[in-house]
């Protein structure tokens, strides 16, 4: 599986077009070493085509879970097949484990394209394309997404990114995390909302910088202001993540491998069904034929001495 590598004196980005245009690594050059900012992708994951085990992958044409793989839209019901390694869940869209085409490549720029022109083969009943753009600057990475309805009928739509950040840089303590949001969805064992979102309780309030500690999180925050900051104490390194308003929701997931997923997404978990039930502010978009949904996420790296 041939990777595409963008790099400069400060940052190195590795992308796997053949595996969903997923990111296999984002590293910072520090004191003669390449230090991973996103969790490294193992050779076994690459060989096995395990996109959920990469450093970051693309979520489209929806993000997060769909309850029992079933949703309703404009009076019709649709049943999707499980698409997760556990053979049970329908989650995170249909593009992250599939091969994409590289349509443009230059210094610091990579553009990949995916064409879902066969809904039956792709486990989603609508036709669409996705365009992903990676720009690597001296101290930042810009991630662009565009989802287009190429069919002849309207479709519910959403997208996002699923980056896993390191919780340790060398021997540094847990990073301090801060972001502002308006509400949070509380879930049960299925991790799917059963009631409308609530104001953020103190235990989930990250308005002021704080470590994750021992908390186990898998929560979707709504009304997110679009900025997030991580700072690793004693490392003199911090990351500022900025997202366009289309990414109105933020998922925070403390992964079992010790990383933390900070996912800018456009809609709530099970958003298609929540929209059909009349819930407000789900973030789900309805794309008419030919319409697109697009947005950009920026990861800015700050390090002492730059």
Q: Are 163 and 253 in contact (CB under 8 A)?
A: no
- For 93-125, the pLDDT digits (tens) are 999 989 999 999 999 999 999 999 876 678 899
**Residues near 288 by beta carbon (within 8 Å), at least 6 away in sequence:** 149, 154
Give the model's confidence band at 224: pLDDT under 50 very low, under 70 low, under 90 confident, else very high: very high
User: What is the domain-level CATH number for residue 285?
Assistant: 2.70.98.10
Instruction: Classify residue 76 by burial, with Cβ atoms within 10 Å: 0-12, 13-18, 19+.
Output: exposed
Average pLDDT in the 21-25 region?
98
Q: How many domains does the chain have?
A: 1
Closest CA to 175 of 74, 262, 108: 262
Provide the CB-side half-sphere exposure for 138 (13 A, CA): 2
* pLDDT beyond 70 at 306: no
In angstroms, the CA 271 to CA 277 distance is 10
Q: What are phi and psi of 44, to 5 degrees?
A: -65, -40
Give the model's confidence band at 189: pLDDT under 50 very low, under 70 low, under 90 confident, else very high: confident
* pLDDT beyond 90 at 82: no
Beta bridge partners of 277: none
Q: What is the pLDDT of residue 143?
A: 98
Report the chain's mean pLDDT, rounded to a whole number. 93
Boundaries of domain holding 173: 4-303
């Amino acid at each position: 599986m041939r990777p595409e590598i963008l790099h400069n004196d400060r940052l190195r980005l590795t992308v796997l077009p053949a595996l969903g245009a997923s990111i296999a690594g984002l590293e910072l050059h520090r004191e003669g070493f390449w230090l991973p900012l996103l969790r490294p992708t193992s050779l076994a994951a690459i060989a096995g085509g395990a996109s959920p085990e990469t450093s970051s992958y693309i979520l489209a044409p929806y993000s997060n879970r769909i309850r029992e793989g079933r949703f309703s839209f404009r009076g019709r019901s649709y049943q999707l097949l499980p698409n997760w390694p556990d053979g049970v869940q329908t989650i995170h869209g249909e593009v992250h484990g599939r091969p994409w085409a590289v349509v443009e490549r230059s210094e610091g720029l990579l553009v990949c394209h995916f064409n879902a022109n066969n809904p039956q083969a792709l486990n989603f009943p609508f036709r669409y394309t996705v365009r992903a753009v990676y720009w690597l600057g001296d101290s930042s990475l810009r991630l662009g997404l565009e989802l287009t309805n190429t069919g002849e009928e309207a479709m519910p739509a959403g997208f996002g990114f699923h980056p896993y950040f390191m919780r340790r840089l060398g021997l540094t303590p847990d990073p301090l995390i801060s972001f502002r949001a308006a509400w949070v969805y509380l879930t049960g064992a299925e991790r799917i909302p059963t009631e409308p979102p609530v104001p953020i309780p103190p235990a989930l309030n990250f308005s002021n910088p704080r470590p994750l500690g021992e908390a186990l999180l898998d929560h979707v925050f709504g009304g997110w202001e679009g900025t997030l900051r991580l700072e690793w104490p004693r490392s003199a390194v911090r990351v500022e993540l900025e997202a366009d308003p289309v990414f109105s929701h933020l998922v925070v997931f403390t992964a079992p491998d010790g990383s933390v997923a900070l996912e800018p997404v456009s809609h709530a978990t099970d958003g298609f069904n929540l929209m059909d039930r009349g819930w407000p502010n789900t973030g789900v978009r309805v794309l008419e034929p030919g319409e697109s949904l697009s947005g950009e996420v920026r990861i800015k790296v700050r390090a002492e001495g730059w």
